Amino acid sequence: MKLTTQLTCLAVAIGLAGCANQAEKEQQSAEIIAPAKTGSFGDQGDGTYINPILNADYPDSDIEQVGDTYYMITSKQHMSPGMPILESKDMVNWTNVGHAFPKLSWAPEYNWDRMNGYSFGTWAGDIAYHEGKWYIYQIDYQHGLMVTMADDIRGPWSEPIMMLPKADVLDDPAVFWDKETGKAYVIINTGNKQRGPENTIPGNENRIYEMSWDGTKILDEGKLVYTGMGAEAAKIYKIDGTWYIFMAQWTMGDMSTKPGVKNPKNDRKQLVLRSKDSIYGPYEVKTVLEKGSVFNNRSASQGGLMTAPDGSWWYMHQLIQNDDIPFQGRPQCLEPVTWVDGWPIIGVDEDNDGIGEPVASYKKPINGYPITAPGSDDDFSSTKLGSQWEWNHNPRDSHWSLTERPGWLRLKASKVLPNNSNHGPKINEWTNNDGSDGDFWRAPNTLSQRMMGITTGTAVAKFDISGMQPNQLAGFVRYGGVFNLLGVQVDDNGKKNLFYMNKMSEKIVGPEITGDDLYVRTSNARDQATYEYSFDGKVFKAFGPTFTIAFGKWTGDRLGFFSWNEKTDDNAGYIDVDWFTYDYDGPKAAVVAK
């Protein structure tokens, strides 16, 4: 059920305090190996936070609040599993729950033997809890509106049900169940796909459709409720009998601020449409959030509304990239919300124009919960892959394992896919350069996780390369819009050499490797990154140039592993990963003894 009224339930507040006390007791009784840490973003450990609170590539958020827990979904295009799910007790500290789509199962281009679904897959969605069941809606631009359902937020999730074809819809669905009338609705950005000559307003059309009560069928042809330049990412709320539609929009009276165009004036704003009459309007419109002075040239917009036990209101939203800084992707910010004359003003009105701007830091909405963060480090001791990891397209499941060698991740090489129009990305469809024909983009089973923050970070992994075979390449990758590799290549005769490869697939070949163990370390200072290697895990040597990590086609830099074979799919070799650690300038949970 979507938010319908301000939450002031004392029982919830008491429950939160009880949970916090219990968590504190458990923390005190456990043997702490490493304490929780803070950094340049998120929870500061003193009752305050610094934005972005989730400073990583978690774009297109939506929030559903159930009891004392907040659940967030974010998009991740062709990465598999798709649509990450996170949870929080205090709106500031978020941890992984899982994914809504175990596989991108609805189209063949997302499979390991095609890998030409770059840029598509899961886009901005909507999470809802209705009559004991979880729903997640999203629109794949190439295929249409779909919904997946689960009885438990951790799954299993159903196979997606297709509800509207791509011919009718563009992106960004949001749903609402109105218990007062017994009707269910979904609002969708239909772009120009259904535009008639009578609508002369430039921009995206947004329509509301009536749904079946079980949330799986569209019952009518939809009704146009709003049009605007770049208008999308709507969310529906009904608060004290008044309808509110939150919506992001680019151009507001200045035609130079066009979507996707770098411009100092470019500012994607957050609007609110308000109606006391009907979900269909008529609506008054007000801008409630603009970029302000805190985040340089980065716009603030789409997200979700929340309430705390004390009755305060809060808004989670992403930052949009209007400049060259955000190589880590689209992070999430948390803003206080103040109601003025029935309008929700997001953030703080720093210039007294009646429109809110983002805050750099603020007091936490809810105190008493420990510092934590999405997972990063992994010793691969579980038989299930951690929720921080995602594959580049659906993996070839026969070619990876956590059980063949317990305590290790085994990545078996596949022959790189053919270089033609049916495989891999098109030029500039995904990559930032004309190196999109590089083998890396067509190599199955690349596994990675998000970079955190934009200041400093260091990741280290230990590999066993004894299982590698002739013509195999394997090792560590950093990639977003560009890729940079450090690993091992094996020649026709079985000789192994260290190599570095840049975004244009140009290689630097290093020393011969005769042992089985290889340690790779990568560090970054803002967008400048380096690689180092070691054979004993103690003495590291730099290899390859300092390179620039880069934001891609709506994705940030990632850290992970690759393995492919240039010539064969038979006995193509494998690489084993013993562990991965990642230290960065931001919050991490305390590490306790198992």
**Catalytic site positions:** 60, 232
Q: From residue 586, how far is each of 366, 486, 583 by CA, in Å?
A: 20, 25, 8
Max CA distance (Å), the chain: 77
Which residues, other chains included, contact 518 with Cβ-Cβ below 8 Å and sequence gap of 6+?
Answer: 462, 463, 464, 465, 475, 488, 498, 533, 534, 535
- Structure-token pair, residue 353: 């124009």
For the chain, helix (H) and strand (E) counts, in that order, are 1, 42
* The pair of three-digit structure tokens given for residue 471, joined into one six-digit string: 């013509």
Report the b/e string of 201-219 with b at 16+ CB within 10 A.
eebbbbbbbbbeeebeebe
Q: Where are the beta strands (DSSP E) in 465-557?
A: 472-479, 483-490, 496-501, 507-512, 517-525, 528-534, 541-542, 547-548
- What is d(CA 501, CA 543) in angstroms, rounded to the nearest whole number? 11
Show Cβ contacts of residue 304 under 8 Å, excluding neighbours closer than 6 positions. Answer: 61, 62, 63, 64, 72, 235, 315, 316, 317
Distance CA 91, CA 489 (A): 45
3-class DSSP assignment, residue 79:
strand
Pairwise CA distance, residues 401 & 113, whole Å? 18
Instruction: Answer for the pair 534, 540: CB distance below 8 angstroms, yes or no.
Output: yes
Whole-angstrom Cα distance, residue 257 to residue 77?
A: 26
How many other β-carbons are positioned within 10 Å of the β-carbon of residue 548?
14
CA proximity to 543, closest of 467, 482, 479, 487: 487
Pairing between strand 414-415 and 558-565?
Answer: parallel
